[in-house]
Structure 1
C-alpha cells in the first residue's frame, strides 16, 4: 500500500471531517518530529500507510459502538489519536484514554488533540501506575512483547474487553509465551499494511479466565 492508496483507503471509510482531523495530525507530526522523536524518521515519508492506516484498521476490529478505549504507550498518537478521530465521528459517547510516560510526547498529543478538536484523556504516567479502567478495548502498538502487554492489560479488563495488538512476523513466538487460556482466545488477523504483519485480537470472557 503506497501513500496514495493509504489516503484513498481512509477517504473511502471516514467522513470529510474525520479526514480533515487526520490531515491536521499528519501536519503536526511532521512539525513536531523535528524536536521530538515521535516515530522512526525513516517512516515519515510513508506515514499514511505505516502509521495512519495501520492504526485505523484497529477501529473496525473492535465491537460496533465501542464507547471506552484505552491505548498503552501512545507515543506519537498512534493508534490512539487516529482511533479517537474515527470514534468520535461515529459515536458521540466515544472516550479515548491515552497512556504515555514521555512528557514531551504527551505535549505533542495534547496540542494535536486541541487542533483536531478531540476531547481525549491523556495520562502522563507509567502503565503500571494508572488506576483500573475497566475499558471496552485495549490497544498497544510497537510497545512491548505480548506477555508484558497481557500483564499490563489485566487490571483494566471488564467481562468483554477486546484486546488489539499489532505484531510483526514473529508473532507466533510471542503467542507461545502466553498462557494456553489466552492462546485459545487469539484471533490472527492479517494486517492491511504489511504482508508479514498481523493484528492479534483477544476477547476477555470472565474473571476466572483472566487470572
Structure 2
C-alpha cells in the first residue's frame, strides 16, 4: 500500500489541509464528527472498530465523491442518499453545499441522529424515515449510497427515481466487479470505475443510462 495514495490515518488537521474546505465547512464537519462519537456511546451508528480512524474511514471516504458531481451544477443538484445510516456520504457532502440532499433511512434512531446533525450544522438535507422502495418518487439528479446493498439491489431500491439522466455514485468494496456482473443480469447500464482514495481494494462506481431488463420483476 502506498503511503502517498492511501494514508494510513487521516487526522482532522490532515483532512482540512487535503480537502480544501472552508473554515466554516470544517467547523460543521467537526461538529458532525463530535456528535457521532457522542451518540455512538448510546446507539450503533457505525462499527466501533472504525472510530479511531473516523476521519479516513468515514469523513474522507465520503468526501471523495465530491469531485464526481457535475462541477457546473454544484449547489443546484438534487441528490438521493439510499440507506443513509449515520449520514455518510450524503450528510457529509451536504455540508459542502453541493445541493439539496434527501437522506433515506428506515432506522428511527439513526434518523434522530441525522436530524440533530442538521439542526446543529444547518446543512441542506431532508430526512425520509422510511424504506427506499416505499418512498414516493420525485426528480433527482444523482443517487448515492455507501455500505448499503449490492449494486443489483440498489438499482431495485431506487428504480422509482431512476430516469434517463440520473447518475449513480456508489462506494463499493473489493467485490465491486462481482456486483457489476450480477447486476448486468437484470439491468443495462454504463459504468465508470475509480479506485477509492482511502482504500486500495475500494472502488467508486459512476453509473448512468440505467434501464431495467424485461426479466426484472
Q: TM-score of the superposition, structure 1-length normalised?
A: 0.89
Output the CA distance in 2 between the equivalents of 1:183 and 1:28.
Answer: 41
Change (3 A) 1:124 1:169: same
Match of 1:74 in 2: 84
The answer to whether the 8 A contact 1:204-1:210 is kept is no
Question: How many residues in Structure 1 have an aligned counterpart in Structure 2?
Answer: 203
Q: Which residue of 1 aligns with 2:51?
A: 44
1:112-137 deviation digits (Å, cap 9, x = unpaired): 11111223110000111101122011
Instruction: Provide the rounded CA distance (Å) in 2 between the counterparts of 1:119 and 1:77.
Output: 12
Cα offsets for 1:169-204 (capped at 9, x unmatched): 111111111126956511110000000110111123
Change (3 A) 1:130 1:35: same
Which one has the bigger helix percentage?
1
| Aligned residues of 2:142 and 2:168 also touching (Cα < 8 A) | yes
Instruction: Tell me which of 19, 26, 30 is aligned to 2:26.
Output: 19
Equivalent residues in 2 for 1:1-211, closer than 5 Å: 1-4=7-10, 7-11=13-17, 12-64=19-71, 65-66=73-74, 67-86=77-96, 88=97, 94-179=99-184, 185-204=190-209, 209-210=211-212
TM-score by length of 2: 0.87
CA drift of 1:151 comes to 1.0
Q: What is the root-mean-square deviation of aligned Cα atoms in Å?
A: 1.9
Distance 2:125 2:189 in 1: 33
Q: 1:6 to 1:196 in 2, by over 3 A?
A: farther
Q: CA separation in 1, counterparts of 2:101 and 2:205?
A: 20
